[in-house]
Structure 1
Amino acid sequence: MNQKTIKYSFTKSLPVMAGYIVLGIGFGILLADKGYSFWWAILMSTAVYAGSLQYVGVGLLGSGASLLSTALMTLMVNARHLFYGVSMLEKYREMRGFRKLYAIFALTDETYSLVCGANVPEDVDEKWYYVLVSMMNQCYWVFGSFLGAFLGNTLSFDSAGIDFSMTALFVVIFVEQWEGVEHHIPAVTGLIISIGCLLLFGAEYFLIPTMLLIAAVLLAAKKQIERRAKHD
């Protein structure tokens, strides 16, 4: 690891920092609204570290959900990470020890968007880039969560609508990735399948079949997509 790797990683993480601090504050405020102290926000953001699931977790904690319900909800909300992990097998294969374990643990949506298609300069250590970006992003999230919970326990907030902030971040990421490539076959495929599954299965059950169908379609069309990308 060298200074150029640290600087490059920090620069790449800046857009996530802007989103994660704000989203973490939102999560902290929601958690404080349920009567939990800022220590709970720090603990969840350190040990769980799953943005959308943490937002859902606030509701689960408030409703006293059972362990089984919590486990099933966790699977449904985070099922997409199974596909993230599969696509990162080659990139993380040569990593060892703590770096590999932590990079796997910290592979959130936003971190995935920074590492899945990373083309790092030759003077940047690629493996350390994966770890540093992951670590920096989590630090932003932990700080935002702490700040939100601290403010939520100190000041009075109307928390209505705060949980929409995570949806807004996903929209921003989608737009950035759309603008970053010339062909949009994967994006359009994902949109069509997602809308179809939402209408067919409903909002509570569409996520897993959506991910399975998207993976199957993109795998079947992999060669055509790669040829189109090279042609562009």
Structure 2
Amino acid sequence: MEHVTKQQLIRRQSTVWRALRAAAPQTIPVLAGYFVLGMGYGIYVQSLGLPVWMPMLMGTVVYGGSLEFVLASLLLSAFSPLSAFLMALMIQARHLFYGLAMLERYKGYGLRSFYMIFAMSDETFSITCSAEPPEGVDRGWFMFFITLLDQFYWVASAGLGAVVGSVLPFSTEGVDFVMTAMFTVIFLNQWEKDRQHYSALIGLAAPLVCLAVFGSGSFLLPSMGCILILLLALRKPIEKAEGTEAEKNGEEVGA
């Protein structure tokens, strides 16, 4: 009995090790991206005067990428749980669809499934959607290690950035602009990918109007409410515009 149990343990360790070795190369591009962005995030959090361990804690518990940049500044602002909740929901709403899309793929892996759904970032989603484990490699452990390694890269890079930020010999004043730059790049990338720009224009116009009406201290919640209402009200025209643009692109390709 002990011999059988020992054999099973060795076989299990071998399965896990093979999955880790197969998953690691898939995550190298994520490591490169997370190292730069995570370092910037750690330095940014440190420039706000937050504890050096805060980036690693948020990277472990929240693990929300762009949301973590926002939360860092929210920690220093007036306590407003509703505003924080709505902000997090709007920034991370796409993850609801990620989870739905991966329900079948993650089914049957026990506690690993819960962790993989929790730690599903944009990059992890793109890898686990397309990557196939090599022959003889357990799929569940393969996807688990892709997810685990990606989060480890982010937490480690953020922690390293915080440490570097705490010992930098020069002023980190202005580092908080990294958040503005990041969201600007995200917006421009989304603008290029979208077939229509109504939603982007709504996202620009509503906050500007609310800023003028409510002032800089209380325009956030009205802005998010206006964006949500306008997107729901104009859903059909936006979808129609997307379909029309897709048809035009198809005709151009056919020509």
User: For residue 199 of structure 2, what is the amino acid of its counterpart?
Assistant: C
User: For residue 33 of structure 1, what is the amino acid of its counterpart?
Assistant: S
Q: Write the distance in 2 (CA, Å) between the matches of 1:167 and 1:130.
A: 31
1:91 counterpart SS class: coil
* CA apart distance, 1:74: 0.7
Look at both structures and tell me which one has the larger radius of gyration over its CA atoms.
Answer: 2
1:111 counterpart SS class: helix
Distance 1:96 1:81, change over 3 A: same
Q: Where does residue 28 of structure 1 map in the other structure?
A: 42
Identical-residue share of aligned pairs (%): 37
* CA apart distance, 1:103: 0.4
Q: Where does residue 251 of structure 2 map in the other structure?
A: none
Out of 81, 86, 89, the position equivalent to 1:72 is 86
Task: Give TM-score, length-normalised by structure 2.
Answer: 0.68
- RMSD over aligned Cα, in angstroms? 3.2
User: For residue 149 of structure 1, what is the amino acid of its counterpart?
Assistant: A
After TM superposition, the structure 1 stretch with the greater mean CA deviation from structure 2, 121-130 or 201-210, is 201-210
User: For residue 4 of structure 1, what is the amino acid of its counterpart?
Assistant: R
1:146 counterpart SS class: helix
Distance 1:50 1:201, change over 3 A: closer
Q: Write the distance in 1 (CA, Å) between the matches of 2:202 and 2:162.
A: 38
Which runs of 5 or more residues in structure 1 are unaligned? 175-186, 222-232
Note if 1:199 corresponds to 2:201. yes
Distance 1:57 1:49, change over 3 A: same
Out of 157, 168, 187, the position equivalent to 2:172 is 157
Regions of 4+ moved over 6 Å? 169-172
Distance 1:162 1:132, change over 3 A: same
Q: Contact 1:45–1:142 (CA<8 Å) still a contact in 2?
A: yes
1:38 counterpart SS class: coil
* CA apart distance, 1:153: 1.5
Note if 1:115 corresponds to 2:131. no
* CA apart distance, 1:81: 0.3
Which runs of structure 2 are paired with 1:49-198 in the superposition (5 Å)? 49-97=63-111, 99-155=112-168, 156-158=171-173, 159-163=175-179, 164-165=181-182, 191-193=194-196, 195-198=197-200
